[in-house]
Amino acid sequence: MTLYQFKMFSEDDQYDTVFTKGKFIEVVTEGETQYVLYAVSMFWVAVTSNASINKKLKCAPFVHGNSLVITITYQSDYKMKSSPIKDF
């Protein structure tokens, strides 16, 4: 599946694809906001949700770049400098 194909899905189908076919990478919680990173096929998807009301806020797919570094900042002050999955 390509990023373009994924973006053509409805929002519900995007979430379904992420949760059934995506590989969980990491979750970071900042206050009431959770950022969950998944690897799907040849791209990443960051799912943002509000933990206190258990509501998904955003599903943001991307290939690489600053989004990956910004999305996942480990709570042990370790910052991911590059993708754990090689770019295709």
pLDDT tens for each residue of the chain, 88 residues long: 899 999 999 999 999 999 999 999 988 888 888 889 999 988 999 999 987 877 788 888 888 755 554 444 443 344 444 444 444 3
Burial class (CB in 10 A: 0-12, 13-18, 19+), 9: middle
User: How much of the chain is helix, strand and coil, in % rounded to 5?
Assistant: 25, 40, 35
pLDDT at 68: 52
Domains of the chain: 3-71 (3.30.67)
Please check whether residue 42 is in contact with residue 4, taking contact to mean a CB–CB distance below 8 angstroms.
no
Q: Whose CA is closest to 14, among 60, 63, 62, 78? A: 60
